[in-house]
């Protein structure tokens, strides 16, 4: 096609700039869910209207029930179903009729909900609806209603197919590109080159911090760090993230230079709002894994396609990985990055983070000896 002469439509431009139509549909669907508007999920002959409970006000919820003639159900993910003692490995569907907004929210993501008397096993399409909500950084509790093939009240809604959602999760691997690069002087470290990569779902920006002048033709010291606003930025004592971030940068410098990838996946990929809800449950005594399960999340919702894509863009194929998390090592190896060595990166134990660190070891398989870590109990920490 001769681009100079052909008429350029919005669709052409969208495809040229943002990749495939499937990703575009998933991005639009996720944005609609976040705005509290329904989305239609369609697959060979069946169509399901979806509304994210996390974004639905009481009046939107009531309108959705009315528009679905009372057929709407609440989908609960397998972890949330297990919390409610439902044996539902595919997730559970609970009729929403006769429940008001408070009652449906309690069932969907709050503590102390009673197990529903009436429920049935969910279909894979309903699982996809929850996956779209997770892509939108919303809780995976979604309202779903099967709608026929004929005209419906939902015809003007964004239409999404299951393949689009899977593509949404995986596009990170395809199209990250560098958009800016500049040195920033960091306390105790010196100049670090902040490199911004854009791509993946919703074209979000991710950072690669280049410390020193590492030789990319050899095995490069690399830390893949997921954002933790509370710990990295505000010095929260509830986790070890801030220590790992600053300690990781210092270690990269001590190792003669390396790269820290700062990934936009707050709260193990659940988003800041869900993480703060989970913290609320932790204040009531739940550990970090059980708190996330109450909200319907698995133990770790993170993915590392972005990390792999950025490492490749930088020309890095072989790394000395600064981590205690074996899942990160396995993910990089599974994507063809050579992990030559694991370098541990540890923080301090405080009375506020001790339980969290022990849970990481006991339930998430992290490689560290909590009893051997330096201890620091701060009086400033109430
Ligand atoms: N959901 C949830 N996320 C948390 C909690 N505490 C910390 N996080 C998140 O956990 C992630 C920790 O990231 P990393 O330090 O890169 O990963 P890690 O799994 O600890 O592995 P290594 O640090 O490499 O050993 C960040 O996304 C934090 O926001 C919590 O209690 N709940
Ligand atoms: Zn943290």
pLDDT per residue as tens digits for the range 204-215? 999 999 999 999
Give the residue whose CA is nearest to atom 12 of ligand 1: 226
Sequence-ordered list of residues with C-beta below 8 angstroms from that of 357, at least 6 positions apart, any chain = 240, 349, 368, 370, 373
Specify the pLDDT at position 360.
87
Say if ligand 1 is within 6 A of residue 230 CB.
no
Say if ligand 1 is within 6 A of residue 325 CB.
yes
Which atom of ligand 1 approaches the CA of 322 most closely?
24
Give the residue whose CA is nearest to atom 13 of ligand 1: 226
**3-class secondary-structure state, position 147:** strand
Which pLDDT band, with edges at 50, 70 and 90, does 287 fall under?
very high
The Cα 197–Cα 265 span in angstroms is 14
Residue, of 269 and 8, whose pLDDT is higher: 269
Specify the pLDDT at position 164.
92
* CATH 3.40.50.10990 is held by the domain 173-264+301-370: yes
Q: Name the closest ligand to CA 242.
A: 2
Give the residue whose CA is nearest to atom 25 of ligand 1: 324
The residues spanned by each domain of the chain are 8-166, 173-264+301-370
**Domain spanning 8-166 has what CATH number?**
3.90.870.10
Output the DSSP codes for 208-260. Answer: EEEES---TTSPEEEEEEE--IIIIIT--SSSSHHHHHHHHHHHHHHTT-EEE
Give the mean model confidence (pLDDT) for residues 348-354: 90
Sequence-ordered list of residues with C-beta below 8 angstroms from that of 356, at least 6 positions apart, any chain = 238, 239, 240, 287, 288
Q: Please say if the pLDDT value at position 239 is more than 80.
A: yes
Q: Please say if the pLDDT value at position 146 is more than 70.
A: yes
What separation in Å is there between the alpha carbon of 7 and the centre of ligand 2? 50
Which atom of ligand 1 approaches the CA of 324 most closely?
25
Which atom of ligand 1 approaches the CA of 323 most closely?
24
pLDDT per residue as tens digits for the range 355-371? 888 988 898 888 898 88
Which one, of 38, 63, 30, 51, lies nearest residue 141 by Cα? Answer: 51
Give the residue whose CA is nearest to atom 3 of ligand 1: 267
Which pLDDT band, with edges at 50, 70 and 90, does 382 fall under?
very low
Say if ligand 1 is within 6 A of residue 239 CB.
yes
Specify the pLDDT at position 1.
40
**Hey, CA dihedral for 309, 310, 311, 313, is it positive or negative?**
positive
Which one, of 214, 216, 218, 206, lies nearest residue 258 by Cα? Answer: 214
Name the β-bridge partners of 207.
Answer: 196, 262
**3-class secondary-structure state, position 182:** strand
Q: Please say if the pLDDT value at position 193 is more than 80.
A: yes
What separation in Å is there between the alpha carbon of 194 and the centre of ligand 2? 21
Give the mean model confidence (pLDDT) for residues 338-346: 95
**3-class secondary-structure state, position 169:** helix
Specify the pLDDT at position 361.
87
Give the mean model confidence (pLDDT) for residues 213-240: 96
What separation in Å is there between the alpha carbon of 8 and the centre of ligand 2? 46
Specify the pLDDT at position 23.
87
Q: Is the ipTM of this complex over 0.95?
A: yes
Which pLDDT band, with edges at 50, 70 and 90, does 4 fall under?
very low
pLDDT per residue as tens digits for the range 28-57? 999 999 999 999 999 988 899 999 999 999
What separation in Å is there between the alpha carbon of 77 and the centre of ligand 1? 22
Which residues are catalytically annotated?
300, 302
Give the mean model confidence (pLDDT) for residues 87-105: 97
What separation in Å is there between the alpha carbon of 188 and the centre of ligand 2? 21
Say if ligand 1 is within 6 A of residue 328 CB.
yes
Per-residue tokens: 253: 């410098």
Please state the pTM of the whole predicted model. 0.92
Give the residue whose CA is nearest to atom 23 of ligand 1: 323
Q: Please say if the pLDDT value at position 18 is more than 80.
A: no
Q: Please say if the pLDDT value at position 380 is more than 80.
A: no
């Amino acid at each position: 096609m001769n681009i100079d002469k052909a008429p350029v439509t919005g669709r052409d431009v969208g495809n040229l700039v943002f990749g495939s139509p499937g990703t575009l549909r998933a991005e639009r669907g996720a944005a609609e869910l976040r705005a509290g508007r329904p989305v239609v999920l369609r697959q060979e002959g069946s169509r399901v209207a979806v509304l994210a409970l996390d974004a639905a006000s009481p009046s939107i919820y009531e309108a959705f029930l009315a528009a679905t003639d009372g057929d709407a159900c609440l989908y609960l993910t397998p972890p949330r179903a297990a919390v409610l003692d439902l044996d539902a490995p595919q997730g559970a569907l609970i009729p929403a009729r006769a429940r008001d907004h408070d009652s449906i929210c309690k069932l969907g993501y709050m503590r102390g909900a009673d197990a529903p008397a009436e429920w049935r096993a969910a279909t894979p399409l309903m699982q996809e609806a929850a996956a779209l909500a997770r892509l939108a950084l919303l809780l995976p509790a979604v309202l779903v209603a099967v709608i026929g093939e004929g005209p419906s009240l939902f015809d003007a809604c964004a239409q999404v197919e299951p393949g689009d959602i899977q593509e949404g999760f995986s596009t990170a691997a395809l199209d990250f590109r560098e958009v800016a690069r500049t040195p920033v002087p960091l306390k105790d470290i010196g100049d670090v080159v902040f490199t911004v990569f854009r791509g993946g779902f919703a074209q979000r920006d991710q950072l690669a911090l280049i410390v020193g002048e590492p030789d990319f033709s050899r095995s490069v010291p690399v830390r893949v760090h997921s954002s933790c606003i509370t710990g990295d930025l505000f010095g929260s004592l509830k986790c070890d993230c801030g220590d790992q971030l600053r300690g990781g940068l210092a270690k990269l410098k001590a190792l003669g230079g390396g790269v820290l990838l700062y990934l936009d996946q707050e709260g193990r990929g659940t988003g800041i709002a869900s993480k703060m809800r989970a913290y609320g449950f932790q204040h009531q005594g739940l550990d970090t894994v059980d708190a996330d399960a109450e909200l319907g999340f698995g133990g770790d919702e993170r993915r590392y396609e972005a990390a792999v894509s950025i490492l490749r863009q930088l020309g890095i194929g072989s790394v000395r990985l600064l981590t205690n998390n074996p899942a990160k090592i396995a993910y990089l190896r599974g994507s063809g990055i050579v992990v030559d060595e694991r370098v541990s990166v540890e923080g301090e134990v405080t009375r506020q983070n001790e339980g969290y660190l022990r849970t990481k070891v006991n339930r998430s398989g992290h490689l560290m000896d909590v009893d051997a870590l330096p201890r620091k109990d701060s009086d400033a920490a109430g």
